[in-house]
Amino acid sequence: MKTANQEIMPITRKINEAGNVEIGGCDLTELANKYGTPLYIFDEATIRSMTRSYKDAFKSYPKMRMMYASKAFMTASICKIMEQEGFGLDLCSGGEIYTAKSAGFDMKKTLFNGNNKSYKELKMAADYEIGTISVDNFYELMLLNDIASELKKEVKILLRITPGIECHTHEYIQTGHLDSKFGFDLTTLDEAIDLIINEYKNLKLSGLHAHIGSQIFEKQVYYDEIRVIFKEIKRIKDKYNIELNEINIGGGLGIKYTEEDKPISVYEIAQTIIDSIEKHSKEYNIEPPYVYIEPGRSIIGTSGVTIYTAGSSKQVPNGRRYQAIDGGMSDNARPSLYQAKYTVEVANKPEEKETEMITIAGKHCESGDILAKDITLPVIEEGDVICFYDTGAYGYSMSSNYNRVLRPAAVLVNNGKSDIIINRQTYEELIQTDVIPERLMNA
């Protein structure tokens, strides 16, 4: 059964009677006029479709704990949707923790993850009574135990390990192989467990956490990851007489950015994961554990598009034609970071013949500010609305104020209605944290 991550476009995308692209019952050209551009647009139906696909795919395994990976895209409104859909939250920073708490999310249904959590962040997590903290290193173990001791609390933890599994994805988004900044190496895991047993009495170890990367198109890596985790759980049980009853297998399922991408469905990974759990539970004589899974990109990526307004253009003699837009690397860093590719459409003339090869350039003072290279589109004129698909994940969350460009607004669309979920940044907000020292004022 196909799931929305296998489609390039949101499930509600269509061409309306005016000949324009419509998503969530809203004309993209009208949204550009109403809210301005650049503009992030999220299709609520696609988001909910993916959360429900995950729940349906794993329904035969009742010990699943669905956790949305907030790093992909997080706002108070997204927290509300995840709460309504029965998902917990995987959080990676104090800012994400604060957002969830401010949105009224049940913090018992959250997990705090990350490789260099600060004392302040860990204290916040303990104060807010986050459900589980995934501990990444020895320094963090010490900090967290000190905090828990001060608060006279017992904090439930997972130990994150590097399972030594590589998936075929960009090297920057591989996290499971041995040469990684994340997690305890398996050779040091016993040292961590010894500390928890003998010294860190305020920490309650409940399981292991591993993550194998992002934008994954393979089933086998999930099977292998679970095998490695179960092998460690069995070894720990035999050595320490500790029965760990929780595992976190991360997320990472890929989405379809272009026709070249061939992601697998949620149902395919679900069957692989369940098969691996059942096989290795029997093989190692271990009670089937509670299983956290942390989808992010696959939940939110396909739901999101970013629209821009076409501006100036340039024809290089005997070379490329550049078409500039009113955004760029500050609202979508992925092409610069990962050489990411996207499917692009002219939203106000999607049915016109694609006759012109162009390179879409951002407005920033940076030669690397290119969002799409050598793609074919209809002839573009100033004022046309350019739509980039599959920008829901890591567009806004990686955005910046490079060149002091303002961060765009974001809207949620559904059944013909559009609602602001992030206001467009203003120049006043841009400078509100700037400070001029008095000695400069008096110079």
- Please work out, in degrees rounded to the nearest 5, the angle formed at the alpha carbon of residue 164 by the alpha carbons of 220 and 273: 30
- For 248-299, the pLDDT digits (tens) are 999 999 999 999 999 999 999 999 999 999 999 999 999 999 999 999 999 9
User: What percent of the chain shows pLDDT beyond 70?
Assistant: 97
Q: What is the DSSP letter of 424?
A: P
- Tokens for 399, please give them: 């955005």
* Residue 172, pLDDT score: 36
Report pLDDT for 34.
98
Token output for 79: 């927290």
Q: What is the per-residue pLDDT across 105-163, written as a single tens digit (0 to 9) for each?
A: 999 999 999 999 999 999 999 999 999 999 999 999 999 999 999 999 999 999 999 98
Residue 56 tokens read as 């349906």
Beta strands in 93-192 (DSSP E): 110-112, 132-135, 155-160
> pLDDT for 382-405, tens place per residue?
999 999 999 999 999 999 999 999
Residue 167 has pLDDT above 60, yes or no: no
Residue 171 has pLDDT above 80, yes or no: no
Which pLDDT band holds residue 301 (cuts at 50, 70, 90)?
Answer: very high
| Residue 10: C-alpha distances to residues 308, 391, 436 (Å) | 18, 11, 46
Distance from C-alpha of 242 to C-alpha of 235, rounded to nearest angstrom: 10
pLDDT per position as a tens digit, 315-336: 999 899 999 999 999 999 999 9
Kindly report, residue by residue over 251-262, the tens digit of the pLDDT: 999 999 999 999
CA distances from residue 93 to 100, 122, 159, 397 in whole angstroms, order as listed: 11, 9, 18, 12
For 420-441, write each residue's pLDDT tens digit: 999 999 999 999 999 999 999 9
Beta-carbon count within 10 A of 432 CB:
8
pLDDT digits (tens, 9 = 90+) for 217-244: 999 999 999 999 999 999 999 999 999 9
Domains of the chain: 4-42+305-430 (2.40.37.10), 44-300 (3.20.20.10)
Beta carbons within 10 angstroms of residue 61's beta carbon: 15
Q: What is the pLDDT of residue 173?
A: 36
pLDDT band of residue 178 (cuts 50, 70, 90) is: low
Pair 214, 169: CB distance under 8 Å:
yes
Structure confidence at residue 175 as a pLDDT band (50, 70, 90): very low
Long-range contacts of 218-224 (CB under 8 A, 24+ apart): 218/167, 218/168, 218/264, 219/264, 219/268, 219/269, 219/272, 220/272, 221/165, 221/167, 221/176, 222/249, 222/269, 222/272, 222/273, 222/276, 223/272, 223/273, 223/275, 223/276, 224/163, 224/165
CA angle (41 as vertex; 96, 36 as ends), nearest 5 = 110
Query: What is the overall mean pLDDT for the chain?
Result: 95
Q: Considering the candidates 26, 79, 92, 365, report the single residue annotated as catalytic.
A: 365
Q: Give the integer Cα–Cα distance in Å for 391 and 383.
A: 21
Known catalytic membership, residue 387: no
- Calculate helix-pair angle for 94-102, 119-127, nearest 10 degrees: 20
Structure tokens at 443: 């110079």
Between strands 290-293 and 64-69, the pairing is: parallel
pLDDT value of position 181: 73
Q: How far apart are CA 263 and CA 254, in angstroms?
A: 6
Whole-structure pTM value: 0.95
Give the Cα separation of 164 and 96 in Å (integer).
28
Quote the percentage of the chain above a pLDDT of 90.
93
**Sheet-wide strand order for 14-15:** 14-15, 21-23, 26-27
Position 183 confidence tier, pLDDT thresholds 50, 70, 90: confident
Task: Give the span between the Cα atoms of 145 and 187, in whole angstroms.
Answer: 22
Q: Which whole-number Å values give the CA distances from 365 to 77, 262, 383, 423, in the listed order? A: 33, 35, 21, 25
The amino acid that residue 381 corresponds to is: E
Whether 232 contacts 274, CB under 8 Å:
no
Cα–Cα distance for residue pair 201/108, rounded to 1 Å: 21
CA distance 394 to 343: 16
Q: Residue 166 — very low, low, confident or very high, per pLDDT cuts 50/70/90?
A: low
- 28's tokens: 């993209």
Residue 170 has pLDDT above 50, yes or no: no
Identify the pLDDT of residue 428.
98
Among the listed residues 292, 107, 273, the one whose alpha carbon sits nearest the alpha carbon of residue 206: 292
Helix axes 138-150, 189-198, angle to 10 degrees: 20
The pLDDT score that the predictor gives to residue 443 is 72
